[in-house]
Amino acid sequence: GAIAFGDRGGCLSNAREGHREGVVTELIYRELESVVSGGLAVLAGIHVEGITKEQITGVVALCEEGAHRIAAGLREYQQEQKEEKGGNQND
C-alpha cells in the first residue's frame, strides 16, 4: 500500500517496500489537490496475484479516470454551493 498526503504546500508520499501504489496515490493526489481547499490524503492498496504489465497499465488508467470523475464531481458540488449561497443573499 501507499499514501500521498499534504496540503497546498506540497505532497509527501510513502509506499511500503516493494509496492508501487505510490504512482496511483500521487496521481490521484495531483488531480484532487486543486479542488480540495485543505489537507488531502490518498491511500491505496492494490493486489492482483500475478498481475501483468498490461494489467498494471489498465489499473493506473482506471484510477486516473476515477480521479478525473471525483475532481469533476467536487467542482460541480462547489459551484452549486457558491450559487446556492449567492442565491440566499439575494432573497
22-76 pLDDT, tens per residue?
999 999 999 999 899 889 999 999 999 999 999 999 999 999 999 999 999 999 9
Residue 1 confidence (pLDDT) above 60: yes
Annotate 19-72 with DSSP letters as a single string: --THHHHHHHHHHHTTT-SS-EEEEE----TT--HHHHHHHHHHHHHHHHHHHH
Mean pLDDT of the chain: 90
Q: What is the pLDDT of residue 88?
A: 59
Q: What is the pLDDT of residue 91?
A: 47
Identify which of 36, 47, 43, 28 has the alpha carbon closest to the alpha carbon of residue 7. 36
pLDDT at 50: 94
Q: What is the pTM of this model?
A: 0.83
The residue assigned the cell 498494471 is 56
